[in-house]
Structure 1
Amino acid sequence: MHAPSAAGRPAGDIVGVSAATVRLRAHIEKVAPFSSNVLITGPSGTGKELVARRLHARSPRADRPFVPLDCASITGELMASQLFGHVAGAFTGAHCDALGCFRAANHGTLFLDEIGELEYPLQAKLLRVLQERVVTPVGSHRGEPIDVRVVAATNRDLREEVAAGRFREDLYYRLHVVHLQTAPLRQRAEDIPLIAEAFLVELAAEGLPKRSLSAAALAELSEYAWPGNVRELRNVLEQAVIRSDASVLRAEDVAALLQPDAAEASGAAASGDQACATRPRVHSPADQGSPGPEPLWASLAAVEREHLLRTLAHTFYNRSAAARLLGITRQALLRKMQRHRIDVPSEQMR
């Protein structure tokens, strides 16, 4: 969906010709001039932050700050400080005043990514700020008026989170004034050539070798299911550019970097057999490394463990990147790795 285009689009533009992308761009243009809060939903890796940045760029606040904050990255008191700021002495280690993201984004846009991961007690404090348009730093009793447009994003269904008691209903309605939806890449395959071309231009601008794609390579990319969406596409292209010595990337250059199960899923889904499309073919962990017949059916735990291992290997054991591909938080991935007793090879520790 994003990256600069060789056709003269600005860096970070939303690239694509599919109906979903055209509709999204039109919706952004319609709501950008207003200060209403926006909730962006969609699968992980579909460019939700890019949508937020375009909203900001097309709004009257474009020359004011755009401040992004990942709500899954920090918890507790530190997250409160990140959001609202603090005064010196507010807690251990608070040696000086801190502005906080709300005040840093004053008269601009605050982008709250992964809003569904925000801890429940902090949701009440966020709601109060949105209602009163006043922020009180941690450790202070003096509120400061703010003028901030809040754009939040999540890959979760917040209505389900509300029903489960994990997300405040009143906060949901405060955020869900304008709703924008990003589509998975597999539903807009006609966008892939433009996005791929744009990424190759971006990678060359970052100092990597200049490459182009053969028609066969483009066909290979267009037939793949892209479980990691646009983020995975960029990852695959960057790996292909680094590995290949040719100026034109061939089909085999990219095919070697695609997840086999996802490619099979794409073909099966096209024929309407979605149930079979999403069924991975795996071995039980107990049988790994030992000869013998393949079990007739793997357990759910075995499927999950195998998929975690494949994803970690695909990202060279970069846990943050693996978590993004899987559509979960890094903390959730670490818990799953601990539960399945998955260790990171010493040479991949990072």
Structure 2
Amino acid sequence: MGSDAVYGAVDIAAKAGQKRRRVQNEGDESITSAPRAKRQRANPRILQPRDSNVQLLDQLTGSKATPLAFLGCSDVPREFEYSESEIKILKVIGSGDHSVVYRIAAGGRTFALKVHKYKNEAISEPGIPKPNIFFESEHDAYTRLSSLSESLLAPTPKYYGYMRFTKPPQVNGPGSIPRKLFKSTTYRPAVYTDFLMDRGHNESIQNDTWRHYFLNKSGNYILQGLVLDEIVARHICDNDASNPDIARSGREGLEALHDRGVLHGDVKNRLNAMFSALENRVIWMDFSKGEIETKIGTTRFTRKASQEIRDWNRYFGAGIGRS
């Protein structure tokens, strides 16, 4: 959840007290490796937190909001400008069924890194890396929405690109005892099991086929993730069902996604919609179940897009969801 990184107030994945579970070893906080010089970039610039942008609130609160102006679509995959050896993994900020979300540091600022877990049965698939439907769905969506995410008051976190990992990432902070990458103990499962949807029993994990996959004798990358802004926002709650601004902003955000040929895929799960009070907007998270129009066809896409709008409107009181 996902996830992205947005800064400091609320985790992308569900916070404590909500339904998503935390990573067991969140206390293991240290730096994976010392950063080296950043790869050369053209025209570097300082990126400001987007919650400072409040000029267009009237677009979200008017009776008929003016559509935001977005740049053209971009289907070109973009790799994050820093490699796994150039980042510091600072903290686990959330864990859901499909991913682990970290706060990382790179280039003098912080981001959210969302690394996707594998379905256990994916081990039977050929090749390295193994297919990961959650990464592929979310990567396709954010690639399609890349320029949209850079717009003022965008309905998604800003997207900085994907990352590849040749070994399982972990947080190892000063004074902590790093976990073993491939060997589980009673209270400290092996790091690689963080990236499996079903960890299994500690006694058997050490010998399973996933362990050999993550040993990665081939040297190829074995895990993939997405780098996003860390969102300063809160989850949608029951009291929001009578809020016309939230209803309107969420609906307009979905319509913007649909205009780009992207389905969110899990609108009914309110954990995937976050609300920024400062910007008075809904931010849609977690596209691990998303779909792309070019892959499913226009007829199916149109039907599903209409259903997503209905699912969102249904949450709000009579008249509010359509105002």
Task: Pick the TM interval, shorter chain.
Answer: under 0.3
Higher helix share: 1
Larger Rg: 1
Higher RCO (CA 8 Å, separation ≥ 6 residues): 2
TM-score (norm 1): 0.24
Q: Give the number of the structure whose residues are more often strand, by fraction.
A: 2
